[in-house]
């Protein structure tokens, strides 16, 4: 297993695998033939960035049997999805900011993110694993109060696309079997979600194959596999952590825009 990070050092962005709390700097492309430079930086010396730069994040709704059963939702025949734009993506350790136009409840949703490693167009399910680079943690932050504010038009895009509403990271972990993973979410240190990825209605491989029939998936793109039971509202001042063994802990604070500041990203837990 390898854990890849992106970072900024002296105003220059770089990437590389983690090796004992240090990032081994690489050149070229993370997804195709990365070249080791021989340099490395301790994590304390760098600002941690989101571990890749997706053109889009595709988020799944109603993709866990436990959540469907609890909410009396029908099992979908095809993936039900929405998009989160690049403008909402957020690095580990940076604050999730409630803007002045974001009214009502805001919830966290801990999820597994599938990172696409190769361009995908109508990929067969049997070949999907070859197109998955690795996995990351995602917090699908949602302005639940806005989602159905207008009864004539559910506002999925607006509710999920505010700046900072797409944290993911802290790493991209390769060499994992998604069927063995569990997603855990903590609100102010208290565990609120703990569910197995094996409970998905559509597995990561099925999702990549089916979605690639609808649209081209590019390297860096992320498929957020959806969430299960336990997603709850956040109040300003809360700390939210999404954790998966083998990937680590994605930790962000939730703040009002009046108290937000351009603070430096802080090192995360890699466990």
Give the CATH number of the domain where residue 192 resides.
3.90.850.10
Structural domain contains residue 108: yes
Structural domain contains residue 271: no
What are the tokens at 123? 């990929």
Is 231 found in the same domain as 128? yes
Cis peptide before 99, with omega less than 30 degrees from 0? no
Average of per-residue pLDDT across 162-186 = 97
What does the pLDDT look like over 42-93, one tens digit per residue? 988 999 999 999 999 999 999 999 999 999 999 999 999 999 999 999 999 9
Structural domain contains residue 264: no
Domain that holds residue 32: 1-49
Average pLDDT, the chain: 94
Is 133 found in the same domain as 23? no
CB 42 within 8 A of CB 24: no
How many domains does the structure of the chain reveal? Answer: 2
Is 33 found in the same domain as 61? no
What proportion of the chain, given as a percentage, has pLDDT over 70?
Answer: 95
Is 129 found in the same domain as 36? no
Q: In what order do the strands lie in the sheet with 96-98?
A: 96-98, 248-256, 239-244, 182-187, 190-196
Is 80 found in the same domain as 101? yes
Q: Kindly report which listed range (62-66, 130-134, 144-148, 236-240) carries the lowest average pLDDT score.
A: 144-148
Distance CA 201, CA 67 (A): 10
Is 45 found in the same domain as 110? no
Structural domain contains residue 144: yes
Is 13 found in the same domain as 134? no
What are the tokens at 179? 């069927």
pLDDT at 269: 56
Is 62 found in the same domain as 39? no
The DSSP line for the chain is: -EEEEEEEETTEEEEEEBSSSEEEEEEEETTEEEEEEEEEEEGGGSEEE-SS--S-EEEEES-BHHHHHHHTPPPPSS-EEEEE-GGGEE-TTSPEEE-TT--S--B--EEEEEEE-S-BSS--GGGGGGGEEEEEEEE--B-HHHHTSSTTS--HHHHH-STT-EEEEEEEEES--GGG-EEEEEETTEEEEEEEGGGBSS-HHHHHHHHHHHS-B-TT-EEE----TT--B--TT-EEEEEETTTEEEEEEEEEGGG---PPP---B--
């Amino acid at each position: 297993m390898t854990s890849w990070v992106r970072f900024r050092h002296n105003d220059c962005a770089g990437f590389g695998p983690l090796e004992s709390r240090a990032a081994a700097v690489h050149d070229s492309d993370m997804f195709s033939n990365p070249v080791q430079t021989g340099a490395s930086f301790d994590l304390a010396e760098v600002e941690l960035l989101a571990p890749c730069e997706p053109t889009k994040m595709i988020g799944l709704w109603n993709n866990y049997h436990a959540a469907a059963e609890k909410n009396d939702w029908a099992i979908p025949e095809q993936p039900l999805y929405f998009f989160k734009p690049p403008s909402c993506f957020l690095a580990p350790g940076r604050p999730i900011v409630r803007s002045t136009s974001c009214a009502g409840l805001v919830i966290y949703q801990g999820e597994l993110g599938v990172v696409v490693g190769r361009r995908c167009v109508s990929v067969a399910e049997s070949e999907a694993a070859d197109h998955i680079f690795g996995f990351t943690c995602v917090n699908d932050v949602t302005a639940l109060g806005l989602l159905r504010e207008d009864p004539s038009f559910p506002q999925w895009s607006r509710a999920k696309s505010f700046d900072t509403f797409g944290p993911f990271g802290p790493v991209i972990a390769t060499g994992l079997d998604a069927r063995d993973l569990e997603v855990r979410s903590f609100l102010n240190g208290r565990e609120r979600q703990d569910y197995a990825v094996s409970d998905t209605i559509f597995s990561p491989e099925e999702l990549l194959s089916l979605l690639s029939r609808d649209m081209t998936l590019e390297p860096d793109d992320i498929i957020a596999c959806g969430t299960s039971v336990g997603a709850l509202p956040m109040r300003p001042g809360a700390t939210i952590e999404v954790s998966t063994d083998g990937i680590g802990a994605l930790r962000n604070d939730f703040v009002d825009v009046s108290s937000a500041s351009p603070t430096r990203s802080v090192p995360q837990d890699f466990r």
